[in-house]
Structure 1
Amino acid sequence: MKCNANTKITGCKLILVPYEKEHVLRYHEWMKSEELQTLTASEPLNLEEEYQMQQSWREDDNKCTFIVLDKEKYEENGNNEIDGMVGDVNLFLNDEDNPSTAEIEIMIAEPAARGKGLGKEAVYCMMRYGIEELKLTHITAKIGYSNKPSIKMFMNIGFQEISRSDVFEEITFKLNLTEDRKERIKACSAPYRIDRYR
């Protein structure tokens, strides 16, 4: 998404940066994992296709993608983004009838980074970005039946199940961004800072 191309978000345990060309090789290595392909309902791409995907997502006004950096690893390695990469988080504005609704996706690809709260913080930071910068009023999430950790996390955040698809074996959850909910998201994403990226 062009609007986040120069945006860097710093939280407590993480930093979110735009998905750039230099991130593609590491991302491509992640997506060779059959487990991640299943959890994200993704098809494997070759490296050239992955570069094309990165470029098309960057230009697409309906896809807002950030790479999740583990702040501690990033800083330990001299602010090296590749060494700090642990996953990605996305907002898809794919409801033409309601531009204030987006679908959120989170992937913590590095096994060693899971269970540390990075996924939850990334979701809170991305929702706050969606509220403050994209003026969202509703957020949905589609999660596979087998992805129990994500189902539990989204329900703990306050998302409610609205439908199930046995064909795609996924549950659709929704969060209405009421004023109370916005205040909670703001509190749960602190500290939160937006800076210019590069």
Structure 2
Amino acid sequence: MRLNENTMLLGKKVVLVPYTSEHVPRYHEWMKSEELQRLTASEPLTLEQEYAMQCSWREDEDKCTFIVLDAEKCRAQPCPTEESCMVGDVNLFLTDLEDPSLGEIEVMIAEPSCRGQGFGTEAALLMMSYGVTKLGLTKFEAKIGQENEPSIRMFQKLHFKPVAVSSIFQEVTLTLAVSEPERQWLLEQTSHVEEKPYRDELAETSGHGQPFWGCPG
């Protein structure tokens, strides 16, 4: 969606940035993985199709997506490219026409070496906080493959509760209702997060290095 196209969220472990054309080649390489295709219920796309998908996700008002960057890599010297810092993505789908306050959340840490380090947890927290404070969401839903036990455990640690199991799709549905105590807990968990402007045109004129990690233009 257009709402977050100039939004960057800086956490301790991860940085969330809008999904731009700069990120497509690496994303495309990730999605050649049969494991990721299975975990995300995705079909492989051509590079041209992936660029078209990136454009549609930017325009669709019922999808909010951020690319997840490794914050430590981002701040390294010499200045890295965003593509080299990518570890995954996090998405919100606002597709329930009867309940606009519900968002389905997906988190993918595509880089195997970056799993189990808390990147997915912080990315989910940042996205949930964004959904609550910017999109007016009060309920979240996550659909996880039954074999993906690490993701199921992660969402349970984020206070999600299993509510259904689909034998047809081999997935577990977990939900979280954001009561006032849950909202306060979520805001406390993300109180360290900085929101800064993100402008891709600055990256294009400065050789891809983004201003937030202190690289010269």
Length-normalised TM-score, structure 1: 0.98
Please name the residue that 2:112 is paired with.
111
Residues 21 and 51 in structure 1, CA contact (< 8 A), matched pair in contact too: yes
Name the SS for the 1:28 alignment partner. Answer: helix
Q: Distance in 2 between matches of 1:14 and 1:152?
A: 20
Write the mapping of 1:135-154 to structure 2, written as runs, cut at 5 A: 135-154=136-155
Alpha-carbon distance between aligned partners in 1 of 2:80 and 2:12, rounded to the nearest angstrom: 16
The equivalent residue for 1:2 is: 2
1:93-112, CA deviations, whole angstroms, 9 ceiling, x for partnerless residues? 01000111100000000011
DSSP-derived class of the 2:75 partner:
helix
Query: Secondary structure of 1:143's match?
Result: strand
Pairwise CA RMSD: 0.9
The match for 2:35 is 35
Report the 3-state secondary structure (helix = DSSP H, G, I; strand = E; otherwise coil) of the residue aligned with 1:171. strand
1:182 is matched with: 183
Contact 1:11 1:190 in 2 (8 A): no
- Matching residue's letter, 2:179: T
Deviations for 1:91-148, whole angstroms, at most 9, x for unmatched residues? 0001000111100000000011111101000000000000000010100000001101
Residue pair 1:23, 1:82 contacting (<8 A) in 2 also: yes
Cα distance in 2, alignment partners of residues 182 and 190 from structure 1: 12
Question: Which residue of structure 2 lines up, in the alignment, with residue 66 of structure 1?
Answer: 66
Distance 2:140 2:22 in 1: 29
Rg larger in structure: 2
Distance 1:175 1:56 in 2: 28
Residue 79 of structure 1, CA deviation? 4.6
- Report the 3-state secondary structure (helix = DSSP H, G, I; strand = E; otherwise coil) of the residue aligned with 2:127: helix
Question: Distance in 2 between the 1:191 and 1:42 partners?
Answer: 34
What does the per-residue CA deviation read over 1:133-192, in whole Å, with 9 as the maximum and x for residues that have no partner? 001010000000110100011111110111111111111110000111111111222311
Runs of 4+ in 1 over 6 A off after TM superposition: none
Number of residue pairs matched?
Answer: 198
Shift of 1:194: 1.1
- Choose 70-79 or 52-61, whichever is displaced more: 70-79
Residue equivalent to 1:131 = 132
Distance in structure 2 (CA, Å) of the matches to 1:190 and 1:25: 33
Q: Which residue of 2 aligns with 1:101?
A: 102
- SS for the counterpart of 1:153 is helix
Aligned to 1:45, what secondary structure does the other structure show?
A: coil
- Unaligned stretches of 5+ in structure 2? 200-217
Are positions 1:19 and 2:19 aligned together? yes
Q: Which amino acid aligns with 2:11?
A: G
- Consecutive unaligned residues of structure 1, counting only runs of 5 or more, are none
The sequence identity of aligned pairs, in percent, is 54
**Residues 1:171 and 2:172 aligned together:** yes
Please say if 1:85 is aligned against 2:91. no
